[in-house]
A and B are shown apart, each in its own frame.
Chain A
Amino acid sequence: MKPCRWFDPDRGHIRNDQSSIIHKQIITMEKKGLNLTLKIWRQENAQTKGEFKTYRIGNISPDCSFLEMLDQLNEQLVDKIEKPVCFDHDCREGICGMCSLFINGRPHGNDTGITTCQLHMRRFKDGDTIWIEPWRSAAFPVIKDLVVDRSAFDRIIRAGGYVSVNTGGVPDGNAIPVKKKNADLAMDAAACIGCGACVAACKNASAMLFVSAKVSQFALLPQGKLEAKERVSKMVARMDELGFGNCTNTGACEAECPKEIKITNIARMNRQYYISQFA
């Protein structure tokens, strides 16, 4: 029973004076630790061609997150004087939208309503092979390995994803009542974290779910109504310009959205769009 190196008590955060606890953990982990084969997309930069490389990793605790599993792989790569696998991540609590990863053919992996950082290794079995790829879309070029450039989303928001008010000189917060039902629906739409899973999941690499979530949020609130027509037409035009595909109602985006944004937002956006063009 050789303790694996990431359970070396000298390296970690658990108190030294609780060595019995650490020992117990090592034993339990060794009992249920996962041994995995990872097929990871490696690509030096945007100019070079990428390829899958195979890595083996052992003794992964089912309680650790997917990104913590990759942290452990990177520790091993650094030990072997190799370049670590680059992947985007930040908050690690499912809200910043920075992490991505296409895992075994699904954005954010084999679970619903979560981002990759919230995917836990208990979703995998000992001996599994895991394929890890970046988001694939012409509008999201690869920067390196699993990191892609999602600035196209920012450019869509810049086209009109706001209410045009300056700081100061606004009415009292309670001056305009908002129907609770609409406020709740607006919040449902506003929960989008801009991760790009919808684009990655869509066979057309369409950004309709992302755009419609922002359009819907403002369309449902009195504050957003004045600019509704301009907003939807500008945002849709920008989306088309940036090379995203069209929507063919397959619903993959809704199925894979970590925030479970509803496809009804796309219907609402289409309605808004028709109004902006013809009414």
Chain B
Amino acid sequence: MIQLDAKIPEGPVARKWTEYKAHQNLVNPANKRKLDIIIVGTGLAGAAAAASCGEMGFNVLNFCMQDSPRRAHSIAAQGGINAAKNYQNDGDSVYRLFYDTIKGGDFRAREANVYRLAEVSNNIIDQCVAQGVPFAREYGGLLDNRSFGGAQVSRTFYARGQTGQQLLLGAYSALSRQIEKGSVKMYTRREMLDVVIIDGKARGIIARNLVTGEIEKYAAHAVVIATGGYGNVFFLSTNAMGSNGSAAWQCYKRGAAFGNPCYVQIHPTCIPVHGDYQSKLTLMSESLRNDGRIWVPGKKEDAEAIRAGKLKPTQIGEEDRDYYLERRYPAFGNLSPRDISSRAAKERCDAGYGVGETGLAVYLDFASAIQRLGKSVIEARYGNLFQMYEKIVNENPYETPMMIYPAIHYSMGGIWVDYELQTTIPGLFAAGEANFSDHGANRLGASALMQGLADGYFVLPYTIQNYLAPEIKTPRFSTDLPEFNEAAKGVEEKINRLMNIKGKHSVDHFQKKLGRIMWEKVGMGRTGKSLTEAIEEIKAVRREFWQDVRITGSTGELNPELEKALRTADHLELGELMAMDALLREESCGGHFREEHQTPDGEALRHDDRFMYVSCWEYAGHDKEPVLHREPLNYEVIKVATRNYK
């Protein structure tokens, strides 16, 4: 039975982290060398943690499934990273960033963690500048900022439309330095398939060498999961093709509680679905909403004419356009938070005002910004995004408005962690998007990069030390222990079982089927009925998958079909837990919108009296109902209110 203890330090929220660091256990330099840490993942959280722990003197083993640590999907983040620097003198502060993040998360995040996040946000910017990250600058040589959704200050630092790339390459360069020094050993093209528990503590992982197919065993004193989110359960998402929830799912099956699986973020500005062959959806950065205005035709007949190709958006006059975000949320307008903007787009399209061939698109229009600032300014700000759009859609967004539609983007839910980022399994930590901790039910723009780097550079290297200090007398583990062999055998059996099904349909057939159920029934608008149906349908697809999947090739070679099969097998279980969690949460909050629970004007209706908690799911065994535990959320500093962006 899982015991939930968030281990939140005593004292006022602004002092908690300082107090924690002042009293935590430390490990002396000579002993650090004797302690091994496995870090799975090389995104912002993983690479930053590996580099920092390596610098401190720990012996780090770092794993990634791509050919290089620089490929992790953090690299695709476009818009920016938040920090409470107040360089713009617009009234920003650590408290305000903390408040905005809690409010943005619809009062479903843990206060102490979020305050710490806001507190270390400033260190992140300093660190990245020192590493040589080429942030955008003003003519005076100082750092430039832009605005993002859900905030009334300019606190977002950026490097053109490639902020994630530059921050990741910064972490990658720090990691590379440690690899050269020998403090970090890098294992590429490896996928973690199980976590090894010895005497109740995480002591290693089982990984598949993706090139040779070999099942490999690795031991350490502690294990960190920094493997990102599970958006690809939906098949079509803005995630990379390889992004998956498997590593987190193995931790869950070994006893780590899974927090808030139903909270996924649907990003309002993505290029719409255009065909059934499509493999992924491309995000258009939220930063575009600084200058772009979102609209649909105000008249249904205009929308119909556009869909039929008889009318162009540029032919519709100002008076016949419905700038619905500006209309509904005048205070935040086009910079309303993501969940709200996504639902508003869906509402207009469902009502018959959508554009594009499928009617599932809205316009993001730069005409007035180009008129006001000139094309060259817009080009300097968003040139690469406009180019990306043009390559995909074959339309020039300088001349005709972009078409966008919401798409699955980020997982707020994830492995449950305490204040120390430790899961319910001692010695197993989770960082970045893989954990559930900081974003509540909705993440604000430019906060994912902040959280990944906060966890990796400034939180985990401290808290893991607190755990490792009593471990200095524990000698290195042999991977020949029965626990390792048992886990490796389990993985091999699972692979053999999959290979021997020799069914009729490819892996993608099942992943697409699951994705469609998830999008239709566990997507932007959920109902008790749709979720109950989804659970049954997912079970049916899962049964079918295990009877009818076809994997060609063999186990002892590079085999992308087998890789996908292992991930889809896990997604077919994870998807069900997401639906169960969504069914249980009979309220609307953030990205989780239960259609039965809305205000008369269509806003999310929370039920704080019943649901002011984190849902923490405990695995109960194969085909058994998981057990729900609740971590109550206590707001000591912030007054809980209805989110209002009007």
**Which of A14-22, A239-247, A264-272 sits within the interface?**
A14-22
- How far, in whole Å, are A64 and B557 apart by their CA atoms in the complex? 29
> Which residues of chain B (303-362) have a CB below 8 Å from chain A?
357-359
B90 within 8 A of A: no
With most chain A CB atoms within 10 A of its CB, the pick from B143, B241, B550 is: B241
Contact A21 B52 (CB under 8 A): no
**Which of A124-132, A148-156, A200-208 sits within the interface?**
A148-156
- How far, in whole Å, are A167 and B211 apart by their CA atoms in the complex? 33
> Which residues of chain A (1-23) have a CB below 8 Å from chain B?
6-9, 11-15, 18, 21-22
B89 within 8 A of A: no
Chain B residues bordering chain A, tally (CB within 8 A): 94
Chain A's closest residue to B283 (CB) is A93
With most chain B CB atoms within 10 A of its CB, the pick from A98, A167, A177 is: A167
Known: A167-B51, A183-B136. A96 touches B162 (CB 8 A): no
> Which residues of chain A (148-185) have a CB below 8 Å from chain B?
149-151, 153-154, 157-159, 161-168, 170-174, 176-180, 183-184
Contact A6 B506 (CB under 8 A): no
Q: List 20 A-B contacts (CB under 8 A).
A: A9-B276, A13-B516, A25-B276, A61-B277, A82-B552, A84-B553, A84-B560, A96-B71, A96-B75, A151-B188, A158-B180, A161-B173, A162-B131, A177-B140, A186-B132, A190-B169, A193-B165, A217-B134, A221-B134, A223-B129
Contact A61 B275 (CB under 8 A): yes
Chain B's closest residue to A220 (CB) is B134
Contact A167 B457 (CB under 8 A): yes
- Residues of B near A49 (CB, < 8 A) are none
B371 within 8 A of A: no
Contact B75 A71 (CB under 8 A): no
A252 within 8 A of B: no
> Which residues of chain A (56-110) have a CB below 8 Å from chain B?
61, 63-65, 67-69, 71-72, 75, 77-79, 81-84, 86, 88-98
Known: A79-B506, A81-B550, A154-B68. A163 touches B130 (CB 8 A): yes
Contact B241 A177 (CB under 8 A): no
Name the one of A78, A83, A154, A162 contacting B174, with C-beta atoms under 8 angstroms: A162
- Residues of B near A143 (CB, < 8 A) are 211, 558
- How far, in whole Å, are A8 and B85 apart by their CA atoms in the complex? 53
A29 within 8 A of B: yes
Residues of B within 8 A of A (CB): 48, 51-52, 55, 66-73, 75-76, 85, 87, 123, 125-132, 134-143, 159-160, 162, 164-166, 169, 172-174, 176-177, 179-180, 186, 188, 211, 235-236, 240-242, 273-280, 282-283, 357-359, 387-388, 391-392, 394, 457-458, 461, 506, 508-509, 512-513, 515-516, 519-520, 550, 552-553, 557-558, 560-561
Chain A, interface SS category? loop
- How far, in whole Å, are A92 and B388 apart by their CA atoms in the complex? 11
Contact A14 B141 (CB under 8 A): no
Chain A's closest residue to B516 (CB) is A13
A122 within 8 A of B: yes
Known: A83-B553, A96-B73. A13 touches B276 (CB 8 A): yes
Name the one of A69, A98, A167 contacting B66, with C-beta atoms under 8 angstroms: A98
Contact A13 B278 (CB under 8 A): yes
A233 within 8 A of B: no
Chain B's closest residue to A186 (CB) is B134
Chain A's closest residue to B164 (CB) is A95
Chain A's closest residue to B123 (CB) is A168
- How far, in whole Å, are A71 and B282 apart by their CA atoms in the complex? 17
- Residues of B near A173 (CB, < 8 A) are 85, 125-126, 128-129, 135, 143
Known: A93-B76, A96-B73, A154-B70. A29 touches B358 (CB 8 A): no
Contact A159 B180 (CB under 8 A): yes
Query: In whole Å, how far is A57's beta carbon from the nearest beta carbon of chain B?
Result: 11
- Residues of B near A168 (CB, < 8 A) are 123, 127, 457-458
- Residues of B near A81 (CB, < 8 A) are 550, 552
- How far, in whole Å, are A167 and B138 apart by their CA atoms in the complex? 26
Known: A12-B516, A90-B242, A151-B67. A118 touches B561 (CB 8 A): no
Contact A113 B387 (CB under 8 A): yes
- Residues of B near A190 (CB, < 8 A) are 134, 159, 166, 169
- Residues of A near B188 (CB, < 8 A) are 151, 154
Query: In whole Å, how far is A179's beta carbon from the nearest beta carbon of chain B?
Result: 6
Contact B132 A13 (CB under 8 A): no
- How far, in whole Å, are A243 and B160 apart by their CA atoms in the complex? 34
- How far, in whole Å, are A75 and B276 apart by their CA atoms in the complex? 13
A144 within 8 A of B: yes
Contact B273 A14 (CB under 8 A): yes
Query: In whole Å, how far is B112's beta carbon from the nearest beta carbon of chain A?
Result: 21
Contact A183 B137 (CB under 8 A): yes
Known: A90-B240, A90-B242. A157 touches B176 (CB 8 A): yes
- How far, in whole Å, are A103 and B90 apart by their CA atoms in the complex? 51
A187 within 8 A of B: yes
Contact B179 A223 (CB under 8 A): no
0/1 per residue, A216-235, Cβ < 8 Å to B? 01100101100000000000
- Residues of A near B179 (CB, < 8 A) are 154, 158
Query: In whole Å, how far is B238's beta carbon from the nearest beta carbon of chain A?
Result: 8
- Residues of A near B123 (CB, < 8 A) are 168
